[in-house]
Amino acid sequence: MSSYASRPASAHHHEENNAILAGKATAAASTLQAGRRRAPLGDVSNINAGRVAQQAGSKEPGKGPEKPALGLLPRTRSQTAAAAARQLQEKGISMSSLLQARSETAVAHNEPSAPVVAPPSPLPDIDGADRMNPLAATEYVNDIYSYYKRVEHKFSVPADYMKQQADINVKMRAILIDWLVEVHLKFKLMPETLFLTVNLIDRFLALKPVTRRNLQLVGVTAMLIASKYEEIWAPEIRDFVYISDKAYTREQIISMEKLMLNTLGFNLTLPTPYNFLARFLKAASAHLDKQVTLLSSFLIELAQVDASMLKYSYSMQSAAALYVAMRTFGKSDSYPRALARHAGFSEEAVRPCAQEMITLHKNAPVGSLNAVYKKYSHAKFLEIAKTQPCAPFAEDGDKLQ
């Protein structure tokens, strides 16, 4: 047999490993013989097990050994629930009856400290016919218009904002918008584009001083931005250069576009009178026909030209326009409950605005700015502008005879 020194190193390591394993086995055996339970993490003691052992070992005279501490053999939630269910079943009690009894007891012994306020009654359902139409967004449409009502004031301007302009006035604003109505009709743009254009003009003029020479530039730039936002095929810059008789260059329009967007903070998503009118028409659909729809559209376009109507919110203008249109054609219920609920205005609240719209309708044929009147006098719009205006309201709300 070869000596220890003459054996290879691998043999030395093999014997050392065997000795270490033998030592560990001997230590484990001695631990078991001593009654100790080896901790799973080496020599780290099991604190809970030690406490339980202390409690089990301490006895008082006349008493048996204490019960093992809770948690020594932890149960899972499912095991605990199953045990509780078995105990209830042995006693002939079902879990559902127990829970019902507990809830009834809680209701009986916990009277509310303050009177319960009844939730507001839901809005009349006007979207039942569109439940299967995903484009109608019937699950969210009421929330959308509730949001529109809350934020519309953020995108409005003071009725007298033009006083801070040194070189332009409300008459020039009316001339500009009257001309833009013709441009809008010539380009065959969407109705939303016109109303967004007017809003952009007013908001920009309320923030920036503009010279008389550049007022038309502001108008064509606002329509360019609105067209990009609303239209599928928007007119190009060269179209606006041509329509303005080359009064401005392409570079001037681009420069004004940058200035306008930065001034308005790129806030282009906003409710317009057209958005509110579309919803209110649906709320009053049971009382509508095409004539009422066209006349209300005619009235809110007239309101865009006249700066005095800026004192009314967009939702108010839309509700008043529909109210006047329904009274003009003698509808039995000119302001139905569903319209009042969705608009958020009572009939008395909309009458001042409606009265001014009646005046606008009466003056439209004889006014010098008649682009809207000519537009709605066309056969395409059933010549609705030529309709006899509604009689003014008396002090008590009835028509004057």
In angstroms, the CA 5 to CA 225 distance is 95
Name every residue whose Cβ is closer than 8 Å to that of residue 355 and which is 6 or more positions away in sequence: 392, 393
Q: Is residue 222 part of a domain?
A: yes
Contact 195, 304 (CB under 8 A): yes
**206 lies in the same domain as 170:** yes
Indicate whether 87 pLDDT > 80: no
**177 lies in the same domain as 241:** yes
**250 lies in the same domain as 311:** no
**203 lies in the same domain as 290:** no
Cα 197 to Cα 16, 157, 261, distances in angstroms: 91, 14, 13
pLDDT reported for residue 39: 47
Q: What is the largest CA-CA distance in the chain?
A: 137
pLDDT reported for residue 3: 46
In angstroms, the CA 244 to CA 135 distance is 37
Tokens of 312: 């009314």
Query: Which of 46-55, 93-102, 290-299, 317-326 has the lowest average pLDDT?
Result: 46-55
Q: Is residue 295 part of a domain?
A: yes
**233 lies in the same domain as 305:** no
Residue ranges making up the domain that contains 380:
273-386
Neighbours of 326 (CB within 10 A): 24
Q: Is residue 391 part of a domain?
A: no
Indicate whether 24 pLDDT > 60: no
> Which residue, 201, 232, 263, sits at the end of a domain?
263
**250 lies in the same domain as 303:** no
Contact 327, 334 (CB under 8 A): yes
Number of structural domains (the chain) is: 2
> Which residue, 263, 281, 315, sits at the end of a domain?
263
In angstroms, the CA 24 to CA 110 distance is 64
**300 lies in the same domain as 242:** no
For helices 191-205 and 250-263, what crossing angle results, to 10°?
70
69-80 residue pLDDT tens: 444 445 555 556
> Which residue, 237, 263, 289, sits at the end of a domain?
263
Average pLDDT for residues 175-204, to the nearest whole number?
97
pTM of the model: 0.69
Residue among 295, 292, 274, 302 at smallest CA distance from 384: 295
In this structure, what CATH number is given to the domain that contains residue 352? 1.10.472.10
